[in-house]
Amino acid sequence: MISWGNIFTLALGLIGSASAYTNPIRNPGGGDPQITYTGGYYYLISTEWTNLQLSRATTIEGLKTATPKVIYTDSDPSRSSNVWAPELHYLGGKWYIYYTAGKSEDLTGQRSHVIKGGASPWDSWSYGAKLSDDWGIDGTILRTNQFGNYFVYSCMTGVQYQSTCIRKLGSDFLSVGALSIISQPDQSWEKSGTPVQEGPNALYFGGKTYISYSANYCWTPDYCVALLEWDGKTDPAKASAWKKSNGCVLKSANGSYGTGHNSFFQSPDGKQTFITFHATSNKNGACDDTRYAMTQPLTANADGTPNFGAVQPFSHQFAEPSR
């Protein structure tokens, strides 16, 4: 005998599962992840070491089984290895990917590069430029109405430790201006393993502009996400324009360690902000391909500032981003 009640319950369960996702989104190989939504698709990109790859799906859950597409491989030995931290950015009607790459022998040759695409991230890509000659990793784009666009990355030029560095982005999106250091790892909670600031990413939330970054050495469980808040009026290339958070805003929890190198994206309807980050099950932290990619929504504190919450366990079901 057919039980319509059981069928109805099953249908509700299927609807619920279709509109929800669980972490991790990519495991393994989820280091330095970024999710971007455009044209009806979520695009996932992360560190692949020897090339650049994109996956896409119409849901976050669908990214887990999406087949990666190799979009760029470089034969130049000065930039064909240790390909890290790629990020998609839409500028001037075209897509660009800013990334780090270097030589195979060691990490002293790590430099910031950019490739240029077309109207869709799924279009073909070609090499654009090396952005600067100084050692630098984890580049991203900061947008401001008053002062224009900036390239923000982690560098060690003129300082002892990896710091948050900034250069004005050229109108061609392939060149940058003079270097400024806007933040250094000078607090005790940024010095586990070795003092580090890396993996910057811009966050626009509640009418304010922030730069998130990863603090501490990645081979420690203390690797975490921290924030710089812009005052909204001073040139972003000045250190005085930025106020550092009092500690980590996202850190190891619920079996995920070394939570960091994050990015942000908006839901299709623009009403939600999500953070995407990597973590590891290694209690000592990790910098290698054992890292997995996770994503979860931010909420707002009473004063309108972002609340990152705690990293949730794999069993936690999140609603798909609102449409």
Three-class HEC string of 237-251: CCHHHEEECCCCCEC
| Rounded average pLDDT over 276-296 | 98
Would you call 85 exposed, middle or buried from its count of C-beta atoms within 10 A (0-12, 13-18, 19+)?
buried
Range 4-319 classified under CATH 2.60.40.2140: no
Query: Among residues of the chain, what percentage have pLDDT more than 90?
Result: 94
**DSSP secondary-structure letter at 112?**
E
The whole model's pTM is what?
0.94
Q: Which is catalytic among the residues 32, 48, 190, 222? A: 32
Q: Which is catalytic among the residues 48, 87, 190, 198? A: 198
pLDDT value at residue 51? 98
Q: At a CB cut-off of 8 Å and minimum separation 6, what does 258 contact?
A: 218, 219, 220, 221, 222, 223, 252, 278, 279, 280, 282, 285, 286, 291
At 50-104, the pLDDT tens digits run 999 999 999 999 999 999 999 999 999 999 999 999 999 999 999 999 999 999 9
Q: What are the φ/ψ torsions at residue 191 (nearest 5 degrees)?
A: -120, 15
| Rounded average pLDDT over 121-145 | 99
| Rounded average pLDDT over 7-22 | 56
> Residue 190's closest CA among 164, 157, 223?
223
Q: Which residues are registered as beta bridge partners of 144?
A: 148
pLDDT value at residue 11? 41
Is the pLDDT confidence value at 15 over 90?
A: no
pLDDT value at residue 8? 39
Rounded to the nearest 5 degrees, what angle is found at the Cα of 206, between the Cα atoms of 204 and 209?
Answer: 35
Looking at residue 201, its amino acid is: N
Query: Residue 10 has which token pair?
Result: 């099953």
- Indicate the pLDDT class of residue 18, thresholds 50, 70 and 90: low
At 22-56, the pLDDT tens digits run 999 999 999 999 999 999 999 999 999 999 999 99
Asked whether the beta carbons of 110 and 125 are under 8 A apart, the reply is no
Query: Which H helix or E strand runs over 38?
Result: strand 34-38
pLDDT value at residue 10? 40
pLDDT value at residue 194? 98
At 224-257, the pLDDT tens digits run 999 999 999 999 999 999 999 999 999 999 999 9
Q: Which of 6-10, 139-143, 295-299 has the lowest mean pLDDT?
A: 6-10
**DSSP secondary-structure letter at 313?**
P
Looking at residue 136, its amino acid is: G
Instruction: Give residue for tokens 């960091």.
Output: 260
Q: Is 32 an active-site residue?
A: yes
Helix (H, G, I), strand (E, B) or coil at 224: strand
Radius of gyration of the chain (CA): 20
Query: Residue 275 has which token pair?
Result: 């953070």
Q: At a CB cut-off of 8 Å and minimum separation 6, what does 20 contact?
A: 61, 317, 318, 319, 320
Q: At a CB cut-off of 8 Å and minimum separation 6, what does 154 contact?
A: 136, 137, 138, 162, 163, 164, 165, 196, 197, 198, 199, 200, 213
